[in-house]
């Protein structure tokens, strides 16, 4: 076990002082020290994706990322997307579609989906399936999750069009 050290992280827009072992993962710090528990520990090996969070706008595995390596970078967890319109659209679509069952994979799934709709405004089904393939779900068979992301992406694209038209 590494000795504890003090460092600062920028989490969900707020600077947080951390006192944690040098080998603490970002997931450890988020869950145990900061009580940000949307990210889940499913395998602690980087496979299941339940711990997915954003670092500098890129989805990463919280369980494979050292907390100390995130100093000077912007960490965003699902809790940090509370006012994000795209995330809200994804969340509403998940509620309605049936893509939420036990919910343990849901947070990580939403972070990955949020990244996808930012990169690819109207992703087709293969693109969605490929993007989400690093987030394991054992309940749904993925059908309704894919449907939710499809619906949310379409809705977001339409909103964007409407806004653009309004500006023009």
Partner 1 sequence: MSIAVTIPPEKLTGTAVGKSTPKLENREKVLGRAEYIDDLYRPGMLHAAILGSPHAHARILSYDVSQALAAPGVVAVITGDDVPDGRMGAFIKDEHALAKGKVLYQGEPVAAVAAETLEQARAAVNLIEVEYEELPAVLSPEEGLAPDAPILHENLDAYFKVFDAGSKGNLCSRTELSEGDVDSAWAECAVVVEGEYTTEPQAHVAIEPCGALAEVDAQGRVTLWSANQSVFRVQANVCESLNLPMSRLRSLTPRVGAGFGNKMEAHVQPLTVALAMKTGRPVKCILTREEDFEIVRARHPFKVRMKTGADAQGRLIARDCEVLLDCGAFADDSPGVLGYALLMSGGPYRIPNQRARGKLVYTNKLRFGAFRGFGNPQVGFAGEQQIDQIARKLGIDPIEMRRRNMLREGDGWFAGPKVASNGLARCLDAVEAASGWARRDAISAAPGKRRGKGIAISAHISGLLGTGAIVRMLEDGTIALNTGATDIGQGSDTVLAQICAEALQVPVEMVSVASPDTDGSPYNWGTTASRVTYTTGRAVAGAARDVLRQAMDHAAEMLDVPVDQLELREGGRIAVKGANVDLPFAAISARAHWAKGGPIVGSHSLVFDEPTHDPKRAIALGLPFPRIGVFSFGAVVVDVEVDEVTGQPRVAEAWSAIDVGRAINPRLVDVQIEGGFVQGMGFALYEAMVWDGARLVNPSLMDYKIPTSADTPPIHSIIVEDPEPNGPFGAKGAGEIGLNPVPAAIANALTQVVGGPLHALPMTPERVLDQMTGQADEQPQGQGDEA
Residues of this chain that bind partner 1 (CB under 8 A): 1, 21, 31, 37-45, 47-48, 50, 77-79, 82, 91, 94-96, 98, 100-107, 110, 128-130, 132-147
Q: How far is the CB of 165 from partner 1 (least distance, A)?
A: 30
Q: 120 is written with which tokens?
A: 């690819």
Q: Tokens in use for 46?
A: 């980087």
Between 3 and 165, CB nearer to partner 1: 3
Alpha helices in 22-124 (DSSP H): 26-28, 85-97, 106-119
Q: Which of 38/75 has CB closer to partner 1? A: 38
CB of 154 to partner 1, least distance (A): 16
CB of 131 to partner 1, least distance (A): 8
Compute the least distance from the CB of residue 99 to partner 1, in Å.
8
CB of 10 closer than 8 Å to CB of 73: yes
By beta-carbon proximity to partner 1, the closer residue of 70 and 131 is 131
CA distance readout (Å), 9 to 16, 56, 73, 137? 5, 12, 7, 30
Beta bridge partners of 20: 5
């Amino acid at each position: 076990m590494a000795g504890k050290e003090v460092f600062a992280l920028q989490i969900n827009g707020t600077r947080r002082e951390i006192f944690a072992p040098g080998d603490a993962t970002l997931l450890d710090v988020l869950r145990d020290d900061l009580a940000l528990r949307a990210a889940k520990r499913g395998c602690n090996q980087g496979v299941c994706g339940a711990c997915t969070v954003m670092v500098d706008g890129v989805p990463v595995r919280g369980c494979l990322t050292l907390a100390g390596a995130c100093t000077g970078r912007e960490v965003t967890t699902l809790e940090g997307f509370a006012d994000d319109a795209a995330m809200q659209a994804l969340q509403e679509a998940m509620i309605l579609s049936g893509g939420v069952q036990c919910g343990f994979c849901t947070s990580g799934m939403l972070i990955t989906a949020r990244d996808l709709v930012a990169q690819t405004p109207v992703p087709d089904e293969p693109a969605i399936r490929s993007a989400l393939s690093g987030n394991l779900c054992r309940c749904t068979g993925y059908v309704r999750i894919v449907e939710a992301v499809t619906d949310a992406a379409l809705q977001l694209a339409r909103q964007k069009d409407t806004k653009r038209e309004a500006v023009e």
